[in-house]
Chains A and B, each alone.
Chain A
Amino acid sequence: MGVGITVERLNAFYGKTQALFDINLNVAANHATALIGPSGCGKSTFIRCLNRMHETIPEARVEGAVQIGEFSVYNGTSATQLRRRVGMVFQKPNPFPTMSIYDNVAAGLKLNGVRNRKQLEGIVEKSLESAALWQEVKDSLHKKSGASLSGGQQQRLCIARALAVQPEVLLMDEPCSALDPISTGKIEELIFQLKEQYTIVIVTHNMQQAARVAEFTGFFLLGKLIEFDKTEKVFTNPSDKRTEDYVTGRFG
């Protein structure tokens, strides 16, 4: 089951440059929350602060508090522990190129020490089913490399890989920006099904996509969270002038 996320006074920095200013935000469990905003506004930085992926960049640092379920993200939890609970799907599909489809999905478990084959097989099948990829790859699980699939299939493979470690939250950083409309449609459908079991935070440049998949939407501008509300409200009756300008296409 998904868990909620509470963000309090979050500030993020790259060296001396501040990328996020005092973000306060509550993400509801088992719902999809979309983050929109022009390029460079801090959406990706924000989402990477939720699973501490920003730490992989030297000189990046964070102040403030993030609570995911019972985990205090910046207090007493190791980054690796946390990331097993908070899965991530990236902008460009990034399957492990030298691993088979099966090994790609099993990677998170195998590399963390799970050896039981029966258990692995079950989880791989279930994850590929959940990512709506099982039917397309079930005959070549061990024969084909993850990189041999099409772009859309690769992205669903990456979703299956993230699901296999059985997270509670799924972070998606522009998961459809490298895909064609048909693959995008499939992934959006998937998000609809996944939010029954997971809490989803999705960064997107596509406002129609946010409107289609998310119950809540946050609008970022220059590192600040300008508005956060029910998606419908944000798109039809925003309370901030800047949000209105953005969603009506006047800038960005």
Chain B
Amino acid sequence: MSVWRRLIDRAMTGVAILTVVVVLLPLFAIFAYLVYKGIGSINLAFLTQIPKPVGEPGGGMANAIVGSMVILFIASLLGVPLGIGAGVFLSEYGRNRFGDVVRFVSDVLNGVPSIVIGVVAFALIVLRQKHFSAIAGGVALAIMMVPTIARTTEQMMLLVPQAIREAAYGLGVSRWRTTISVTLRTATSGVITGVMLAFARVAGETAPLLFTTLGNQFWNRDINQPTAALSLQVYTYALSPFDDWHRQAWAGALVLIVLIVAAVSAVRFVVRRGTLAGA
């Protein structure tokens, strides 16, 4: 290699590494700052107690941690099957006008501000039931999950070669069975990536929960009642005039991020364990 080519090679490698650093830097900066500000307030009480009344020191966000999990569970229960179903439809049966309409609507929905979706859930569920609830919040988040999951599922299914589908047809397997047991199964790891992406995106959402789950300072075991959520608690505490609450807000944000990372890693781990050598 000539000196010039070697020089260009080095320079390009350097640029590539630099871009990686620039992309990752904000992530690490945010995480480091959260740890720095929040770790001091995380203790057993924070993880096991409910908030104390204003002015009383101590207390925790246990109800919000559980509440967030419940709301996200409801959202996933509704949003994941709907999103995957829509994606499967788009890739296997949606190569037509109707499919194009669904794709367009889904992309528009993806761009709708989250607070608008919160208002919609408020109008559809909260107003009708006349009270706030975890269900309403779950529905709002589910609506946000659907377009992301649908479009990634569609893309992943389209990446499965036609030859794989033909192999199944050639064995006398019906079309719907092929779609579910062969095509979707082959695309599983990509579909799960889409689901995780959608999950992580809505896990930190605050706006759609403001009018739907409202928040709650106490324990609540009824999903049909106003429920605390970490993002709401962080929002409320961060806007408060109290230093103690500010510290707890940092801790809450840290716990939220750790929970998301833990959930995503757990799913990845389980999926990888089920994957065969060479697959």
Q: Could you list which residues of chain A lie within 8 angstroms of chain B, going by C-beta atoms?
A: 51, 53, 56, 79-85, 87-88, 90, 92, 94-100, 107-108, 111-112, 143-145, 147-149, 158, 161-162, 165
Interface residues of B in 155-176 (CB under 8 A from A): 161, 163-174
Cβ contact within 8 Å between A111 and B164:
no
- Report the separation of the CA atoms of residues A148 and B170 in the bound assembly, to the nearest whole angstrom: 22
Pick 8 A–B contacts, CB within 8 A, sort by A: A53-B170, A83-B170, A92-B163, A107-B173, A111-B182, A112-B171, A158-B167, A161-B171
In angstroms, how far is the closest chain B Cβ from the Cβ of A178? 11
* Set A56, A99, A111, A145: member contacting B166, Cβ < 8 A: A56
* Contact residues in B for A100 (Cβ distance below 8 Å): 276
Interface residues of B in 169-206 (CB under 8 A from A): 169-174, 177-178, 181-182, 185-186, 188
Give the residue among B173, B178, B181 with the most A Cβ atoms within 10 A. Answer: B173
- Given known A53-B166, A143-B277, A144-B278, contact A165–B172 (CB-CB < 8 A): yes
In angstroms, how far is the closest chain A Cβ from the Cβ of B211? 42
* Contact residues in B for A88 (Cβ distance below 8 Å): 170
**With an 8 A cutoff between CB atoms, is B279 at the interface?**
yes
Cβ contact within 8 Å between A112 and B173:
yes
* Set A53, A92, A112, A148: member contacting B169, Cβ < 8 A: A53
Cβ contact within 8 Å between A56 and B276:
no
Cβ contact within 8 Å between A108 and B186:
no
* Contact residues in A for B188 (Cβ distance below 8 Å): 98
- Report the separation of the CA atoms of residues A132 and B40 in the bound assembly, to the nearest whole angstrom: 66
* Contact residues in A for B170 (Cβ distance below 8 Å): 51, 53, 83, 87-88, 90, 162
In angstroms, how far is the closest chain B Cβ from the Cβ of A220? 21
Q: Could you list which residues of chain B lie within 8 angstroms of chain A, going by C-beta atoms?
A: 161, 163-174, 177-178, 181-182, 185-186, 188, 275-279
In angstroms, how far is the closest chain B Cβ from the Cβ of A117? 18
Instruction: Please give 19 more A-B residue pairs, beta carbons under 8 A apart, in addition to A53-B169, A98-B188, A111-B171.
Output: A80-B173, A80-B174, A81-B172, A90-B166, A92-B163, A96-B186, A97-B164, A98-B186, A98-B279, A107-B168, A107-B173, A108-B173, A111-B182, A112-B173, A112-B177, A144-B277, A144-B278, A148-B276, A148-B279
Cβ contact within 8 Å between B172 and A84:
yes
* Contact residues in B for A53 (Cβ distance below 8 Å): 166, 169-170
- Report the separation of the CA atoms of residues A87 and B163 in the bound assembly, to the nearest whole angstrom: 15
Cβ contact within 8 Å between A112 and B172:
yes
- Report the separation of the CA atoms of residues A144 and B24 in the bound assembly, to the nearest whole angstrom: 36
Cβ contact within 8 Å between A98 and B276:
yes
> 8 nearest interchain CB pairs?
A148-B278, A84-B172, A108-B171, A145-B279, A83-B172, A88-B170, A145-B276, A94-B163
- Given known A111-B177, A147-B279, A148-B279, contact A96–B172 (CB-CB < 8 A): no
* Contact residues in A for B173 (Cβ distance below 8 Å): 80, 107-108, 111-112
- Report the separation of the CA atoms of residues A144 and B185 in the bound assembly, to the nearest whole angstrom: 16
- Report the separation of the CA atoms of residues A25 and B172 in the bound assembly, to the nearest whole angstrom: 24
Chain A residue, CB-CB nearest to B183: A96
* Contact residues in A for B169 (Cβ distance below 8 Å): 53, 56, 79, 83
* Contact residues in B for A165 (Cβ distance below 8 Å): 171-172
Cβ contact within 8 Å between A145 and B278:
yes
* Contact residues in A for B178 (Cβ distance below 8 Å): 111
- Report the separation of the CA atoms of residues A112 and B176 in the bound assembly, to the nearest whole angstrom: 12
In angstroms, how far is the closest chain B Cβ from the Cβ of A154? 11
